[in-house]
């Protein structure tokens, strides 16, 4: 879970995602269970719906995702990524 905010930031910077947790404040992190508890709601339903609508209607997100897919394939695809992680 700890790497997820960093991964989300990378996807936002690459123009492939919208960060839903931009206004959330982390209150605590339980190392044993690796779970975070937030003191304020992560997002409101209306904010979530607006961000999903933007993600689905703005073509730049799909274009950037397809661009990254092509780059990933040239670099060796999922098989190469798995080998690098393992």
Q: Tens digits of per-residue pLDDT, 11-23?
A: 999 999 998 775 5
* Alpha carbon distance 25, 20 (integer Å): 12
pTM of the model: 0.66
CB burial string 35-74: b at 16+ within 10 A, e below: ebeeeeeebeeeeeeebeeeeeeeeebeeeeeeeeeeeee
Q: Tens digits of per-residue pLDDT, 18-76?
A: 987 755 555 677 788 887 777 776 778 898 899 999 999 999 999 999 999 999 899 88
3-class SS letters over 36-63:
EEECCCCCCHHHHHHHHHHHHHCHHHHH
* Alpha carbon distance 53, 36 (integer Å): 27
């Amino acid at each position: 879970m700890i790497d997820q905010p960093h991964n989300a930031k990378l996807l936002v910077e690459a123009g492939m995602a919208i960060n839903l947790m931009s206004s959330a404040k982390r209150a605590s992190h339980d190392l044993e269970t690796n779970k975070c508890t937030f003191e304020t709601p992560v997002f409101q339903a209306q904010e979530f719906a607006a961000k999903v609508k933007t993600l689905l209607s703005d073509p730049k997100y799909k274009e950037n995702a397809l661009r990254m897919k092509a780059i990933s394939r040239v670099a060796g695809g999922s098989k190469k990524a798995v080998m690098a992680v393992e």
